[in-house]
């Protein structure tokens, strides 16, 4: 089974991220997790409540589709748990989380075997007031002001990897190769082991780096490691997807279908089908050569 997604143009992504960041919600890493798997839920807190200076408590209410195994203690915070709730409380103002700092509150457990979204409701208490991140999406277009943290539980064969800001360098008729770039984040860790696309005879994950005074490019035969909850950027002059033996020119504004193949931390295979726009987005780094 494959998961199909469309990579939005950079400007649309910036607008989406800006509107989300303005609310500074308590969130889980994007990318989802496999149904029936053990999952480390890392709740990201990067702000205090409105008009507050620090976060003094976090309480996570666990949905029915998540069976708690343990919660990670924090120095200077008390931790209490029961099968349906995990709570951390700062022991003093000195150990509270300043509004200018970001950190993760981590809970581990077993996910349901049924694919679909899970929502974790999180109560954030602060030195002044509180914020209950507990609202679920409604039928309307308006986004909740205080959304619960969402986790996408994925069907077997769907890779738990978030793909953002993807693009392909445009080409001219007769050009045999080009590069594709993107940002990848695997919440539980993974490895990008292969790429295919109907527009190219060969698609490989490559690394470009200086060796002495010479810039060299080589294929990553073992794939590209994606450490858990760390964004790995494929960009000009570094890691990238090399498309060779092109079947057609790729003009700016076209779309390239790609299948990305991954292996998770336990070696299980998964794929993502993405539709990648052609053309360098605004703000992208200046190019480096990508011809063999």
Domain boundaries, the chain: 26-154, 162-277
Q: What are the angstrom distances between the C-alpha of 177 and each of 21, 48, 96, 151, 231?
A: 37, 48, 53, 38, 26
> Which residues are bridge partners to 210 per DSSP?
215
**Tens of pLDDT along 194-251?**
999 999 999 999 997 766 777 788 889 889 999 999 999 999 989 999 999 999 999 9
16-20, 129-133, 216-220, 273-277: least confident range: 16-20
Q: How far apart are CA 6 and CA 276, in angstroms?
A: 7
Q: How far apart are CA 68 and CA 86, in angstroms?
A: 9
Centre a 10 Å sphere on the Cβ of residue 22 and count the other Cβ atoms it contains. Answer: 8
* Position 64 pLDDT exceeds 60: yes
Q: Are 236 and 179 in contact (CB under 8 A)?
A: yes
Q: How far apart are CA 255 and CA 258, in angstroms?
A: 10
In this structure, what is the dihedral angle of CA atoms 281, 282, 283, 287, given to the nearest 10 degrees?
50
* Residue 94: Cβ-neighbour burial (10 angstroms; 0-12, 13-18, 19+): exposed
Q: Are 167 and 250 in contact (CB under 8 A)?
A: no
Strands 190-196 and 162-168 turn out to be unpaired
Main-chain phi, psi angles of 183, to 5 degrees: -115, 130
Domain 26-154 carries which CATH code?
2.60.40.2230
Main-chain phi, psi angles of 156, to 5 degrees: -55, 140
Centre a 10 Å sphere on the Cβ of residue 291 and count the other Cβ atoms it contains. Answer: 11
Strands 162-168 and 200-211 turn out to be unpaired
* Position 289 pLDDT exceeds 50: no
Best CA proximity match to 277, nearest among 242, 252, 260, 247: 252
Main-chain phi, psi angles of 140, to 5 degrees: -80, 180
**Tens of pLDDT along 73-108?**
999 999 999 999 999 999 999 999 999 999 999 999
* Overall residue count recorded for the chain in this entry: 292
Quote the pTM value: 0.83
Best CA proximity match to 288, nearest among 235, 245, 219, 244: 235
What confidence score (pLDDT) does residue 15 get?
34
Best CA proximity match to 162, nearest among 230, 218, 84, 254: 230
* Residue 66: Cβ-neighbour burial (10 angstroms; 0-12, 13-18, 19+): buried
2.60.40.10, 2.30.30.30, 3.40.50.11600, 2.60.40.1890: which CATH number matches 162-277?
Answer: 2.60.40.1890
């Amino acid at each position: 089974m494959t998961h199909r997604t469309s990579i939005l143009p950079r400007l649309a992504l910036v607008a989406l991220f800006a509107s989300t960041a303005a609310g500074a919600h308590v969130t889980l890493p994007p990318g989802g997790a496999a149904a029936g798997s053990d999952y480390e839920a890392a709740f990201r807190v990067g702000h205090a409540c409105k008009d507050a200076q620090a976060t003094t408590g976090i309480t996570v209410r666990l949905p029915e589709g998540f069976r708690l195994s343990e919660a990670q203690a924090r120095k200077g915070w008390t931790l209490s748990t029961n099968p349906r709730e995990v709570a951390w409380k700062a022991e003093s103002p000195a150990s509270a989380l300043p509004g200018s700092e970001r950190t993760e509150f981590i809970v581990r457990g077993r996910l349901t075997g049924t694919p679909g979204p899970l929502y974790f409701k999180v109560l954030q208490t602060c030195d002044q007031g509180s914020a209950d991140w507990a609202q679920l999406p409604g039928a309307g277009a308006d986004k909740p002001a205080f959304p619960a943290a969402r986790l996408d539980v994925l069907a077997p064969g769907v890779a738990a990897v978030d793909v953002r800001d993807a693009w392909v360098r445009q080409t001219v008729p007769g050009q045999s190769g080009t590069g594709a770039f993107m940002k990848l984040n695997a919440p539980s860790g993974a490895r990008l082991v292969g790429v295919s696309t109907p527009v190219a005879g060969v698609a490989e994950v490559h690394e470009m780096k200086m060796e002495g005074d010479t810039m060299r490019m080589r294929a990553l035969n073992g794939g590209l490691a994606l450490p858990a909850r760390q964004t790995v950027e494929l960009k000009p002059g570094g890691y990238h997807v090399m498309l060779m033996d092109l079947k057609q020119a790729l003009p700016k504004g076209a779309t390239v279908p790609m299948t990305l193949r991954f292996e998770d931390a336990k070696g299980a295979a998964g794929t993502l089908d993405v539709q990648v726009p052609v053309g360098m987005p605004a703000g992208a780094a200046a190019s480096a050569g990508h011809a063999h």
